[in-house]
Amino acid sequence: MRADARKNRDHLLAVARVVVTEQGADASLRDIARRADVALPTLYRHFPTREALLDTLLRENFDALAERAVELEASGSPAEALGTWLRECVAVAREYRGVTELMAAAIGDADSALHASCVTMRAAGTRLLARAQAAGAARADLDGAELFALVAALAWLGDQGSFAPRADHLFTVVASAVLPGRTDGDAEAGRH
């Protein structure tokens, strides 16, 4: 890649991070290009699709979650590991508004630029879930795809302004369905 192109790409990404933080995943691409002092077709050249751009913004965090899962697999109780990881997943999925719809679309579309990251994340969750199930700590009738969906739904709740104040408590409620009988390690037990 030519030096000027590299510079444009990096700058576009930095600006996109700001704008998507402000406006969410459906931010105006025109606005991003404008604020990056670049013509719109330049943005399209580097990121042919809105998803390609968001993929680049998200992949880092998604892959970090997969690594984090490996870490947690080796430590603590299976139940606590899963609970902690779920909480961190929701936090990452909430980093930008509107990402949950994207996750849902990407996991189901092999052609999506985000697909690989989502599949990696789901696989990591599936391993943690299986370990907790083997220990009898997690609901047996759940699979990784459903865990992924629950994470997305909980992140979605946090994205809706009027539900956001309840999002933490509702995480606890749903987590208690995934990990029945677990009383330690969740947000509220840890708080008092």
Partner DNA sequence: ACCTGAACACCGTTCAAGT
| Binding to a copy of itself, residues 132-151 (CB under 8 A) | 139, 141-142, 145-146, 149-150
- Select the residue interacting with DNA from 14, 18, 24, 30 (CB under 7 A): 30
| Binding to DNA, residues 95-124 (CB under 7 A) | none
| Binding to a copy of itself, residues 68-127 (CB under 8 A) | 101, 104-105, 107-109
Query: Which residues, other chains included, contact 125 with Cβ-Cβ below 8 Å and sequence gap of 6+?
Result: 69, 85, 86, 89, 144, 147, 148, 151
Binding of a copy of itself by 153 (CB under 8 A): yes
Binding of DNA by 13 (CB under 7 A): no
CA dist 59 and 13 (Å) reads: 13
Residue 50 binds which entry of DNA, a copy of itself, none, CB below 5-8 Å type-dependent: DNA
170: nearest Cα among 181, 117, 159: 159
Q: Tell me the closest approach of the beta carbon of residue 163 to a copy of itself, in angstroms.
A: 4
